[in-house]
């Protein structure tokens, strides 16, 4: 499975401590590029070395290609080479995904995130053909996104192994959480592995993951970075403390509210106004915001 040339390439290509960044909107619901610049600069200045733009938390289903590429260009202009920029290019329409991949490459993306096609529930053969079409559209590195809870189907281990043979498929964002299956792939596929589920960040590191693509990192970028550095330094006690007392406290609200709603409410509490989500995703209620405020204070991020 895979090729040895891919080993250890993940950090250089996709970073290690990544936030799947929200797409900021004005009070009228339009794209807010100035807020996008400010947020990206804040995250990068506080330990984040990679940003996913136009992913799930970036509200990819309800933003246009023009909005996606405009935000990508603005963030690229703001952070330069201080962070890797990974563009969400996955949809449930292969033609659309190919067009989005090309547009993202033209806008300056460093890599692409390609989610398993959702709703359509294709066969694994269809998934392979879909990813191959996207891979052929540009020469950008690709991170597969395995999230059956949203897509309706998992990426089978054999599918991941097959796709790993493609030169540009170099990583997986794992929101499936099958440690037993993934441990072998991490060890032998040559793919970089990223935790795509914040409560599992620390366990994934123990299996050899390169890092995380996080939502709670919006509210706690420094803690997310320290989790990784503590683990790499062998300070497991500190890593467990950060995980339990900061990140998991926030992850509880992420699970209850959904990633977009959580992240936008948390940022607002910290003084970063990024607008409300676009429908059908709803903003947090006053009661939810107050509960979040209390736990953000408990977690030391407010």
Active-site position among 68, 76, 84, 145? 145
Per the annotation, the verdict on 145 as an active-site residue is: yes
* Residue 53 in tokens: 């733009």
Active-site position among 76, 173, 176, 264? 173
Q: Phi and psi at residue 62, in whole multiples of 5°?
A: -120, 15
**How many angstroms separate the CA atoms of 234 and 25, rounded?**
41
Q: Are 128 and 154 in contact (CB under 8 A)?
A: no
* Residue 34 in tokens: 């100035």
Collect all residues with Cβ–Cβ distance below 8 Å to 66 and sequence separation of at least 6: none
Per the annotation, the verdict on 173 as an active-site residue is: yes
Beta bridge partners of 113: 88, 143
Q: Are 30 and 217 in contact (CB under 8 A)?
A: no
**CB hemisphere CA count around 97 (13 angstroms):** 25
233: exposed, middle or buried (Cβ count in 10 Å: 0-12, 13-18, 19+): exposed
**Active-site residue numbers?**
145, 173
């Amino acid at each position: 499975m895979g090729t040895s040339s891919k080993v250890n390439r993940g950090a250089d290509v996709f970073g290690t401590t990544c936030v799947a960044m929200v797409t900021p909107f004005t009070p009228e619901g339009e794209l807010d590029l100035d807020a996008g610049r400010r947020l990206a600069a804040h995250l990068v200045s506080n330990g984040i070395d990679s940003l996913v733009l136009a992913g799930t938390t970036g509200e990819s289903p309800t933003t246009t290609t023009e909005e996606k590429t405009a935000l990508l260009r603005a963030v690229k202009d703001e952070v330069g080479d201080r962070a890797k920029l990974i563009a969400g290019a996955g949809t449930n329409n292969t033609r659309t995904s190919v067009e989005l991949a090309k547009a993202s490459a033209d806008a300056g993306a460093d890599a692409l995130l390609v989610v398993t096609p959702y709703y359509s529930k294709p066969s694994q053969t269809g998934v392979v053909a879909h990813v191959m079409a996207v891979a052929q559209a540009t020469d950008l590195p690709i991170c597969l996104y395995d999230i059956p809870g949203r897509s309706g189907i998992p990426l089978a281990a054999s599918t991941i192994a097959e796709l790993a043979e493609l030169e540009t498929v170099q990583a997986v964002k794992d929101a499936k959480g099958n440690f037993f299956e993934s441990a072998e792939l991490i060890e032998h596929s040559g793919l970089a592995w990223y935790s795509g589920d914040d409560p599992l960040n620390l366990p994934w590191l123990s299996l050899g993951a390169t890092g995380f693509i996080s939502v709670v990192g919006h509210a706690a970028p420094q803690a997310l970075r320290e989790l990784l550095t503590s683990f790499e330094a062998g300070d497991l006690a500190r890593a467990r403390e950060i995980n339990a007392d900061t990140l998991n406290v926030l992850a509880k609200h992420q699970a209850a509210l959904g990633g977009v709603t959580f992240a936008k409410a948390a940022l607002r509490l910290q003084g970063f106004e990024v607008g409300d989500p676009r429908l059908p995703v709803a903003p947090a209620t006053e009661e939810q915001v107050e509960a979040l405020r209390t736990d953000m204070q408990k977690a030391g991020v407010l």
